[in-house]
Amino acid sequence: MISAEATALTTTTESPQTSSEVVPMWRQRWRIFRHNKLAVISLGYLIVITLACYLVPWLHPTNQTNQAATFNVPWNAPPSAAHLLGTDSSGFDELGRIFYGGEYSLTLGFLAGFITIIVGTVYGMVSGFFGGIVDTVLMRIVDAVLSIPYLFLLIALISVFGRSTMFLILVIGLSGWFGNSRIVRGDALLIKNLEYSQAATAMGAGKAHIIRRHVFPNSISNIVTVATFSVADAILFLSALGFLGLGIQTPQTDWGTMLQAGAYQLQNGFWWEVYPLAIVFILVVVSLNYIGDALRDAFEVRLIER
């Protein structure tokens, strides 16, 4: 593990290199990451799908919200030239709807995952770094919340706080960070007792300085890895909520709601309403998990718990 100073040195050196070439940290990591072909393919796929979900509804708009305008459109129509993946049970174009729903699923997944990692990091850092009674109290709270099965917790929070899109992001984000905080806390606890942190303390560095320059930079690897898994989990949990009817409200939609509606049409033989989306969806989650695994290797850390 290379300390913050080394990172700072390598990235701020602007003078032309003389003999031994100093490779910036991120480039070394990228080299290891790049070595993992599956992870690179996953990353490419994720970028393509994300771009498509945000750009296609804008470049090639299809009617996805106006139920009245679907009057002339055949419902549950099989794939044809006009509708490449057919239409769904409301007459909306299925291909366009995959991207339209993806916009919501991905936005919510990324935002909620982002919240879980920010809150989890701050909480875990404080708990691990200050230790003692603060740590005990903060960690018992985490134990308690983690003992509530997550889906039950989500449902309870949604039934109390309501289910607008904004609340969904907040509820998934603010209830999903407890596991992350445990991992960050473990890192902080470890790093604050390492020699370089102690040396900094001996030289008179304040707590804020040590957190900023030593603890945080050295636990960033774990944080980034966990963030990837958090986004995957957030997307999965959002889809579960969509299935339960607690997801995005009509006429908007998300992948979970669409998969649920589509799966019930399978017995009528309308395969195009579920299989294309299912493949897109599963590959998104698989990709995120592969990227997370590859990041973990790239950072060479031992992750004890997801």
Enumerate binding residues for another protein (CB under 8 A): 140-141, 143-153, 155-162, 232, 236, 239-240, 243-246, 256, 259-260, 263-264, 266-267, 274, 278, 281-282, 285-286, 289-290, 305
187, 224, 226 from 303: Cα distances, Å:
10, 12, 9
First to last CA, the chain: 21
Closest CA to 65 of 97, 87, 95: 97
Closest CA to 158 of 250, 246, 253: 246
Cβ 256 to another protein, closest distance in Å?
7
C-alpha gyration radius of the chain: 23
Cβ 201 to another protein, closest distance in Å?
26
Q: For another protein, give the closer residue by CB, 205 or 261.
A: 261
The amino acid that residue 53 corresponds to is C
Q: Check the CA dihedral 148-151-154-157 and report its sign.
A: negative
Q: Where are the alpha helices (DSSP H) in 91-177?
A: 94-130, 132-146, 150-161, 165-175
Q: For another protein, give the closer residue by CB, 25 or 153.
A: 153
Pairwise CA distance, residues 95 & 75, whole Å: 14
Cβ 115 to another protein, closest distance in Å?
19
Q: For another protein, give the closer residue by CB, 4 or 183.
A: 183
Cβ 196 to another protein, closest distance in Å?
27
Q: For another protein, give the closer residue by CB, 155 or 205.
A: 155
Closest CA to 258 of 46, 54, 102: 102
Cβ 64 to another protein, closest distance in Å?
22
Name residues whose C-beta falls within 8 Å of residue 160's C-beta, 6 or more positions apart in sequence.
Answer: none
Burial class (CB in 10 A: 0-12, 13-18, 19+), 125: buried
Q: For another protein, give the closer residue by CB, 229 or 299.
A: 229
Q: For another protein, give the closer residue by CB, 119 or 274.
A: 274
Q: For another protein, give the closer residue by CB, 65 or 159.
A: 159
Position of tokens 């908007």? 252
Q: 3-class DSSP state for residue 87? A: strand
Q: For another protein, give the closer residue by CB, 47 or 266.
A: 266
Cβ 126 to another protein, closest distance in Å?
18
Cβ 241 to another protein, closest distance in Å?
10
Cβ 130 to another protein, closest distance in Å?
19
